[in-house]
Chains A and B, each alone.
Chain A
Amino acid sequence: MISSSLFSTLAMLFNLSLRNIVRYRRRNFFLFAAIAVAVGGTTLSNALIRGWQVDMLETAVAGLTGHIKLQAPGFADDPSLQNAFSSLTPIALGEEVPILGFAQRINIPAVISSERETRGVALVGVDPANEGISLYSDFVIEGEDLSGPADGRLLIGKALAETLQTRVGRRVVVIMEGADGKSRERGYRIAGVFDAPMKISEELLVFTGLQAMQAALSSAELSRPITELSLVLQAEEDRVVAQRELAAQHPQLVVKDWREMQPQVAEIVDLVDATMAIWFFLIMSALTFGLVNTLIATVMQRTRELGMLRALGMNQRLVLIQVVMECVGIMVVGVIAGLLLGVAMVFGLGDGIDLSAFSESVEAFGMSTLLKPVLTLEDLLLFGGLSVLVGFFASFFPARRALKISPLMAMNR
């Protein structure tokens, strides 16, 4: 427990520090400005980096992956209907793990041919009503959307339609493997052509109704097969718990999360945290050198005053506390101003930065073409807290210098 005397002494030192900050207001203004610009700039750049990370994560989850996907064992090595499971598989997660939705699909490789070209694609049988959780809901469709799971027409990407030199209403031929392991060749009419945020989706994905696909490909052993059940949670933080619960409920299936299915994206997402830490370290290192230099100059300017305090009987511990308080005070004001500046700049960016001029490059990173900065309270508090902590440790350099001042030498200056 802090005694009232110590508390009173600390209050006095705080008061003294505050007045000293005001006393050198012109010099401190420039110091505040330097800290504020550094912290503000880093806040903005971190918000953009965090936005990139969130965008990559959302893009990964909003693909056909979801947060968690259930598949039959062996599907990863042999993605065919022979490694399917029943669409009657129940999904039951506790209330502590709220889900946004789930979608059952057949997702198998196929070959699609028009009169002019042939391409390898992923043929995906879906129930459009359940695809609100995936990129399907973001498609801009020319022609018609699939009317339901029984719709036996196709929805193909704009890029694929251009490659195949076909269009809405035309017929194409699809070759795929049935549940019995035999190849099937079927003719499909194109209901619509979709425009997706990422070009690779337009080139690789072809959609049709799930029930229509089941009817065409199922066998007597498994009448309503699916190859994947994709699940999107309300919060990424629940992913591990949900995966554990589902794995316990369905030991006969493989339960993977998006990090296992998209390890490259997972690594980049992790790398972003490291990038932010390195960026913070670099900025703070540069700032610390400037800060220490200025604070030492401040102490040296007041050698006589600090020496006089010691001559009067102020012990070294209190001198140290006073100098540290002053330095931390400067840092706190600068950091708060910097965070406000950073937040203002983030809001100034509005809807984000349009990167469509570099669309191919950003898609290669698994990003969408609109980079939105993301500010989180955790980031602000962590960054602000770390900055003040840096200021605290930086203040020990001038404080140590202050302790070396001999009262007698100081008085004789």
Chain B
Amino acid sequence: MTESEQTKSTAKPVVACQGVQRIYQQDTVPVYALRGADLTINPGEFVSLAGPSGSGKSTLLNVIGGLDGFDAGSVVVGGVDLGGLNAAELAEMRLRNVGFVFQAYNLIPVLTARENVEFILQLQGTPNQERRERADTALQRLGLGDLGDRRPGELSGGQQQRVAIARAIVTEPVLLLADEPTANLDSKTTEELLGLLRDLNQQQGMTIVTATHDPIVMSYTSRQVAMLDGEIHQDSASAV
């Protein structure tokens, strides 16, 4: 076992899910989106949650991100037990611990790229000067140094997604969640973006979890978790 692997195995996990169930009511019929999922993610991992539609990958991602609740089991993210947190506490947890990258970018259309990145720092109460500097650094890191003054409508899809990543990492979250981040991008831009995510993971040790059904995305991740019918079907970490 290498030193790095030893560190990962002894460090406190970023995500610890045990027996997580999520049941939706469709009229009077219960639909099991998650059937007792167990998943532990250690610091510095780059994990893909893969599986067909309805397998529960996005649901698990949303539960880990505090966007969705769960009906049984336990979920701990960055040392915070999400069970029993109210809406305000979940919002605070998301703000402090989690960075989100969405399929549809979801930038604020009336703000410039820099303001979009600064926005989340503003919510955290970061002082003006520091906010500006950190936003510029994040944009430069993602190759958008000279596009900070443009609004989302003036940027390409790839550029918008890079702004979304800059917004997600600028707060230095313990966990970056990306839900189908490349679904709206062409293959060239997809490769560029995945390269960026891999750099963030490898150079800065950022823990990244992405839900995808794209083999290219899976090929960039260090650990592949396959889901089926609301359960963890296969985990490359276990296979090793």
Chain A residues proximal to chain B, CB less than 8 Å:
4-5, 8-9, 12, 16, 19-20, 22-23, 304-305, 308-316, 318, 407-408, 411
Contact = CB atoms under 8 A, between A and B. Distances in A.
Nearest to B96: A313
A19 B91 contact: no
A314 B102 CA distance: 16
B100 interface: yes
Nearest to B88: A315
Contact of B91 (A8, A315, A411): A315
Contacts of B67: 311, 407-408, 411
B194 interface: no
A23 B96 contact: no
A308 B106 contact: yes
B214 to A, nearest CB: 19
Contact of B110 (A5, A19, A311, A411): A19
A49 to B, nearest CB: 42
Interface in B77-105: 87-88, 91-96, 100, 102
Interface string B118-148: 0110110101100000000000000000000
A255 to B, nearest CB: 65
B190 interface: no
B111 A16 contact: yes
Contact of B122 (A12, A20, A408): A12
Majority SS of interface residues in chain B?
helix
B205 interface: no
B222 interface: no
12 contacts: A4-B127, A5-B127, A8-B122, A305-B108, A308-B106, A312-B120, A313-B94, A313-B96, A314-B91, A314-B95, A315-B88, A315-B92
B194 to A, nearest CB: 22
B62 A408 contact: yes
Contacts of B88: 315-316
Contacts of B91: 310, 313-316
In order of increasing CB-CB distance, the 10 nearest A-B pairs are A313-B95, A19-B110, A5-B125, A313-B94, A308-B106, A408-B67, A315-B91, A12-B122, A408-B68, A313-B91
B109 interface: yes
A67 to B, nearest CB: 58
A280 to B, nearest CB: 34
A177 to B, nearest CB: 85
Contacts of A16: 108, 110-111
Contacts of A315: 88, 91-92
Nearest to A19: B110
Residue among B88, B96, B102, B106 with the most chain A CB within 10 A? B106
Contact of B123 (A23, A318, A407): A318
Contacts of B127: 4-5
B223 to A, nearest CB: 25
Contacts of A313: 91-96, 120, 123
A312 B67 CA distance: 10
A162 B122 CA distance: 84
A204 B118 CA distance: 81
Nearest to A411: B102
A305 B68 CA distance: 17
A304 B106 contact: yes
Contacts of A22: 110
B127 to A, nearest CB: 8
Q: Which of A9, A315, A318 has the most CB of B within 10 A?
A: A315
A369 to B, nearest CB: 56
Contacts of B109: 23, 305
B90 to A, nearest CB: 9
B237 to A, nearest CB: 28
Contacts of B102: 308, 411
Most buried by B among A4, A22, A314: A314
Contacts of B111: 16, 19
Given A313-B96, A314-B91, A315-B92, A12 B120 contact: no
